[in-house]
Structure 1
Amino acid sequence: MKRIIILCIFVILVSHSVVYAKFKDNKPPSYEELYTEWGYTTIDDAITQFENSYNKDLKLPLRVPPIAFTHHFGKFTDSEGNTNSFSAQFVNDKHPEKHYKIDVKAAEDGMEFNERQVIDTYKLKNGTIASYISLSQHQIGFYALVFTKNGWQYILSIDERVADTVTPEVLVKIANSFEDE
């Protein structure tokens, strides 16, 4: 009987500790913690790493979509086979649908998409043809404007839930906002 009482006390103490530990761990990580864990840093640091890997300047559009963002992060991905990429994420921690991305790769390593994904095409002010396409990533739909400029393929994408605000025409204005034009 003494063993049973000691075992019960032990189980109660252990279960109490586990409950406390679980409560403490249930606090969701901040966006800063999450994106850092996923390998993101500042946009400037990621651009520098990307430019150093190609020994070539990377220009980004000067405009962003007309929605509120609380955070922005950059990431340089150094992949095997020399297909490095740059990604900039603009997010809002209160409204996850307010999510805009810029992905850049060397044009020869760019994303391929099929004609079924193409919703429309647009001519940019420098004469480049941009394709407005539909994408899905992890159960979330995105629309993207894909174009090539200065040897880079740019993919400007927006969460489909804000596509009524960030229309294809807005993405075209962003694509036309490079400093050198």
Structure 2
Amino acid sequence: MLGSIVLVGVLSLGISPGNDQGIKESPKNQFQQAIFESGGELVEEALRACEKHFGTAIFLPPQLPSVAFTHQYGRCYDMEGGLDEHLEVHYWNRYKPEHDYKIELYPLENKQQLKHLSFEESELADHTTAKFYKGPINTFQLLVFEKGNWQYLLTAANRASSKISQQELTEIAESLTQAMNSKDPVYAMWGTLAVTETKRKYNMDVVDYLYMGRTTISNEMAEEKFKLWLKKGAREFGVYVTVAFHPTTHQFISIRYEEF
């Protein structure tokens, strides 16, 4: 009986009796491995790499398309890769190819001209000019706009079954401008808390401060993220500070720190 149980357990793991090669990788794990072997990184790691490479903060739109993704990954391209320097963040559903969305950021001095595409121009809510291109079926659709020192390219698949529309890409772009232009007093309140608690925790001066945006976790929790630079004497370093709170009652939930 024990032998039968062991055999069933081994087969359920995808191992043949007598095979000592270990657990076989599932197709899903093989797919993920291929992504990272080709240079993909976790989005946060790619973002930090590009911030370090370009020497400036980078903001991503807080809103995503309202479709399901199975994978998200990023890559910070530098000249060693043979491509123009830029950040790329890719969201993809390996079971539904039409759920394919990508963000690319290029510094304005190296922005993509894209003269071979026929764009239609429009204005975002803050009067920023946006250009939209929609290719033939089974190609792609693209929204291009500039914010701060960056050119943003939002690309989505254009298939007959695609659910990501021009309107949604526009809303995503506007979510970025709203976050960057936010005068929300709640954000200011949590920023003050982040600075105060960080100074208390590290017993150092906060010499630089950057608001990085809000993330809604659920109906009962949202997070504000800040990037602080600390200094005391010859020692200095950066800290990401994330404050969690209830978005309706504004009740404080937690604060966490991540040094970089």
Q: Do they fold alike, i.e. is TM over 0.5?
A: yes
- In structure 1, runs of 5+ residues without a counterpart are 1-23
Please name the residue that 2:54 is paired with: 54
Secondary structure of residue in 2 paired with 1:76: strand
Q: Matches of 2:124 and 2:139 in 1, distance apart?
A: 24
Report the alpha carbon displacement of residue 37 of structure 1 after superposing the two structures with TM: 1.8
Residues 1:91 and 1:28: Cα distance change in structure 2 (over 3 Å): closer
1:94 paired residue number: 95
Checking the alignment, whether the CA contact within 8 Å between 1:143 and 1:163 is kept in structure 2 is no
| 2:150 corresponding residue in structure 1 | 152
Change (3 A) 1:65 1:39: same
Change over 3 Å in CA distance of 1:167–1:37 after alignment to 2: same
Deviation per residue, 1:120-155 (Å, 9 max, x gap): 22211222101001468xx95110100111110100
- Once the two structures are superposed, the pairs formed by residues 18-33 of structure 1 within 5 Å of their partners are 30-33=30-33
Task: Give CA deviations for 1:62-81 in whole Å, capped at 9, x if unaligned.
Answer: 11111110110010111159
Q: CA deviation at 1:117?
A: 2.2
- Residues 105 and 162 of structure 1: is their aligned pair in 2 closer, same or farther, counting only changes over 3 Å? farther
Q: Distance in 2 between matches of 1:43 and 1:94?
A: 21
Q: Which residue of 2 aligns with 1:45?
A: 45
**Given that residues 87 and 102 in structure 1 are in contact (C-alpha distance below 8 angstroms), is that contact kept between their aligned partners in structure 2?**
yes
The CA RMSD over aligned residues, in Å, is 2.6
Contact 1:132 1:144 in 2 (8 A): yes
> In structure 2, how many angstroms separate the alpha carbons of the residues matched to 1:47 and 1:169?
26
Structure number with higher relative contact order (C-alpha < 8 Å, ≥ 6 residues apart): 1
- For 1:142 and 1:65, the matched residues in 2 are separated by 15
Give the distance between the partners of 1:109 and 1:127, measured in 2 at CA. Answer: 23
Q: 5+ residue gaps in structure 2?
A: 1-23, 182-260
TM-score (norm 2): 0.54
Give the deviation of 1:163 after TM superposition: 7.4
Q: Is the 8 A contact 1:41 1:73 kept in 2?
A: yes
Distance in 1, Cα, partners of 2:69 & 2:170 = 20
Q: Tell me if the contact between 1:65 and 1:170 (Cα under 8 Å) persists in the aligned partners.
A: yes
Q: Percent identity?
A: 26
Indicate the SS of the match to 1:32.
helix
Aligned to 2:15: none
* Aligned twin of 2:67: 67
- What is the rounded CA distance, in whole Å, between the counterparts of 1:75 and 1:88 in structure 2? 7
When residues 29 and 140 of structure 1 are mapped into structure 2, their CA distance, relative to the original with a 3 A threshold, is farther
CA distance in 1, matches of 2:51, 2:154: 19
Give the residue type in structure 1 aligned to 2:140: F
The residue that corresponds to 1:113 in the other structure is 114
- Across the two proteins, how many residue pairs are aligned to each other? 154
TM-score by length of 1: 0.76
More strand by share: 2
Counterpart-to-counterpart distance in 1, 2:33 and 2:160 = 25
Which has the larger helix fraction?
Answer: 1
Amino acid at match of 2:94: D
Amino acid in the other structure paired with 1:89: H
Closer, same or farther in 2 for the Cα pair 1:72/1:164, shift >3 Å?
closer
Query: Match of 1:161?
Result: 159
* Cα distance in 2 between the residues matched to 1:155 and 1:46: 17
